[in-house]
Structure 1
Amino acid sequence: MPPGLERPGRLRAALRRRVLRAVAGGWLTLKCLSLLVFVGGFFSTIFSSLFGTREMRILILGLDGAGKTTILYRLQVGEVVTTIPTIGFNVETVTYKNLKFQVWDLGGQTSIRPYWRCYYSNTDAVIYVVDSCDRDRIGTSKSELVAMLEEEELKKAILVVFANKQDMEQAMTPTEMANALGLPALKDRKWQIFKTSATKGTGLDEAMEWLVEALKSRQ
């Protein structure tokens, strides 16, 4: 690689660190950060229209500790990577079945969830990750999901629910989780739930296969 050039992933990581330092230091307010995200998404859409290449935009959402970041990098590099709680977001390009996805993994902490809506524009699909063992917070997961699906910008987004951590003995079954989240009651929404284990890698291919076909059928 020529001197002075870095891999895109490293550049994105460096940019995230600088943005987060600016927020922490008070130089960049969360409102300004939200505006930057909106403007960035706007110009990304314009450039994609001009040059005829558009990556499918996917959000990975869910409560903290559900396994969102592990899933993101499982999909990208095919293996488990060491992660820390996401403060802000991770964004990577994932290629699956010759389709390119721009995947945004958003932090799930209580203080961060109100800012999820800043990222909803132009979203094609939402991967909603739920810790199958976290029975105490399944009600919170449902509340956040319901609020999210009511947003106008996500009216046409496909929903894929990952019932994650299925390798654990105390995990809820996908049917149990679907009922707890109120999925059967969803109207005018294309959705599906899959049993997954981010650490083992099980269920991810099946879920992505379904998502690819769902996106293709919508075009």
Structure 2
Amino acid sequence: MGLRGSKLPEAHVLLLGLDNAGKSTLLYKLRHNACVSTVPTVGFNVEMLEAKKNRKNIAVTLWDVGGQVKMREHWKSFHQDAAAVVFVVDSSDRARVEEARRELEGTLRSEQLRGRPLILIANKQDVNGALTATEMKDTFHMRRICSGRDWYVQPCSASTGFGVEEAFSRVVQLAKLPSDSGAMKENIKDTVHYLKVSRKR
């Protein structure tokens, strides 16, 4: 019986980041344990994985959304019901770190992502001169931009597999499931309230 037919608790996880950050490579390394040569993602890739959270099986759906400038304006249409945000950064490309930081800050301002955990992936650690996890934490002002949410910086190399399993474990551990807290219930309440108000108009 496939995952689709199962009634496991589901966690929708957003995989975001600039183009060429290594999101799709990370996704396929995780899913198939293979280093796949990828082309820039136009639109999105979706993969579903089973994991254990608090000793229970859960289904994790990873949404890898394209990172080119024209795709970034569509990121917000994926925000709803996200259990966590994974933001992948090419830590060897110092010239684009500032651009990545700006995009991440803009993403975290979304009301729909309020309180959602953030896992910052410092990818391409196998490249000489890559920023360390500590440097990434400081450069991205993680303490400031993540006040009110759980966060973690994971060093990783999607091509060699270094840190990939740890990154996924961290995502599963931090992801907010619908049953985890009142957060999702609040979302549903807000939607119901909105529908009632809309009907009266």
TM range (shorter): 0.7 to 0.9
Q: Which residue, out of 199, 204, 215, partners 2:159?
A: 199
Q: Which has the higher contact order (CA 8 A, sep 6+)?
A: 2
- Higher strand proportion: 2
The aligned residue for residue 136 of structure 2 is 177
Q: CA deviation at 1:52?
A: 4.8
Q: Which residue, out of 75, 87, 104, partners 2:30?
A: 75
Unaligned 5+ residue runs, structure 1? 1-6, 9-43
Q: Which residue, out of 64, 74, 83, partners 1:105?
A: 64
**1:108-187 maps to which residues of 2 (within 5 A)?**
108-185=67-144, 186-187=146-147
Checking the alignment, whether the CA contact within 8 Å between 2:25 and 2:35 is kept in structure 1 is yes
The aligned residue for residue 190 of structure 1 is 150
TM-score under structure 2 normalisation?
0.79
CA distance in 2, matches of 1:216, 1:108: 24
Q: CA deviation at 1:204?
A: 1.4
**1:24-43 maps to which residues of 2 (within 5 A)?**
none
Give the % identical residues. Answer: 38
Count of aligned residue pairs for this structure pair: 173
**AA of the residue aligned to 2:11:** M
* Partner SS, residue 95 of structure 1: strand
Checking the alignment, whether the CA contact within 8 Å between 1:124 and 1:156 is kept in structure 2 is no
Large movers: runs of 4+ above 6 Å: none
- For residues 74-119 of structure 1, the C-alpha deviation after alignment (integer angstroms, 9 at most, x for no partner) is 1111121221110111111122334311110000001110110011
Q: CA deviation at 1:189?
A: 1.0
Q: CA deviation at 1:211?
A: 2.3
Unaligned 5+ residue runs, structure 2? 181-201
CA distance in 1, matches of 2:115, 2:135: 26
TM-score under structure 1 normalisation?
0.73
Query: CA RMSD, aligned part only?
Result: 2.3
**AA of the residue aligned to 2:111:** E
